[in-house]
Amino acid sequence: MLRGIYTATNGMVSQQVRMDVIANNLANVDKTAFKRDTTLFKTFPEMLIHRYDEDGVGKVPMGSFDIAPIVGKLGLGMEVNEIYTRFEQGAVKKTDNPFDIMLQDKPGAERPAFFVVMTNRGERLTRSGAFVLDKNGNLVTPQGFPLMGEKGPIQITHANFVIKENGEIYINADIGNHPQTTTSVEHNRFNNPILLDKIKIRTVQNPRHLDKEGDSFYADTPESGEPEPYLKEVDAPTVMQGYLEASNVQVVTEMVEMIEVNRAYEANAKSIQTHDHLLGRLINEVLR
């Protein structure tokens, strides 16, 4: 009976963790390039149940026989094994904002691509391409962390940069990239285009083991492997300027899972109440 209460309690704790993950997914459904999390569980080893007070092995001249027949199996509950991030591609949103950049992974790609951003904790990976221009002319995240190119932070001038599908950034050399320089799309004809830099795009061997941090950042771990460039150009993602990636959270799916969690939680709570009632009756019978 106590094992039943223990099992149900573990089930309630596990469902609470799953509910927290679902709630976090729903809270970030409109966040650019947010990747949903999934909760995985594992069960404790099952225990064989023998008939009460019949343990041991009987001996006969021809050998032995089991005098404690197995009645069945008893599950000992479950626990949260892992919370991992699913990196399926989100929907494409056209913004026509030149500072918005999106990474479109190749169809069937097993390893997603990431931008590299320099934070106050070092380089971090991100899928969010909603960048802005700071006072120094650097492409930065809304938190002020610069987007990294192969040569370092990317410094540009408003209306004087074009990003190609392979991540190369071209500017009009006649205008330059000084932060105090101003121009407009109508007056910039790119008569003298030159290659300024290339966006630093990286991937990891095992993205499942990346550590999710705040502000849509991911930190590499020994299990994920260090960030590395794509060895083959055909495997590299397509860089799309003027587009953003939506989150891959499906509201209907998350709501269905939330209903499942509520029902499982209520079933475990009801099981504890039943065990508690039976245990109370047993104690009362013993005390009589």
Are residues 142 and 216 both part of a single domain? yes
Phi and psi at residue 195, in whole multiples of 5°? -80, 120
Are residues 72 and 171 both part of a single domain? no
Cβ count within 10 A of residue 52: 8
Provide the H-helix boundaries in 66-143: none
Domain that holds residue 70: 2-85+252-287
Are residues 71 and 151 both part of a single domain? no
pLDDT digits (tens, 9 = 90+) for 187-240: 888 889 999 999 999 999 999 999 999 889 999 999 999 999 998 888 999 999
| Integer Cα distance of 197 and 149 in angstroms | 6
For residue 179, what pLDDT is reported? 86
| Integer Cα distance of 247 and 139 in angstroms | 22
Are residues 77 and 103 both part of a single domain? no
For residue 284, what pLDDT is reported? 83
Are residues 111 and 221 both part of a single domain? yes
Are residues 111 and 236 both part of a single domain? yes
| Integer Cα distance of 275 and 138 in angstroms | 64
For residue 41, what pLDDT is reported? 87
82 three-state secondary structure: strand
Are residues 60 and 157 both part of a single domain? no
Are residues 54 and 137 both part of a single domain? no
Q: Which ranges of the chain have pLDDT less than 70?
A: 1-6, 45-77
Residue closest to 151 by CA, chosen among 165, 136, 169, 164: 169
**Which residue has 């120094």 as its token pair?**
136
Are residues 192 and 165 both part of a single domain? yes
**In this structure, what DSSP letter does residue 237 have?**
P
Cβ count within 10 A of residue 36: 22
Are residues 116 and 196 both part of a single domain? yes
Are residues 73 and 56 both part of a single domain? yes
Domain total of the chain: 2
List C-alpha distances in Å: 139 to 88, 148, 241. 26, 9, 13
**Which residue has 């150009």 as its token pair?**
233
| Integer Cα distance of 37 and 35 in angstroms | 7
Are residues 121 and 155 both part of a single domain? yes
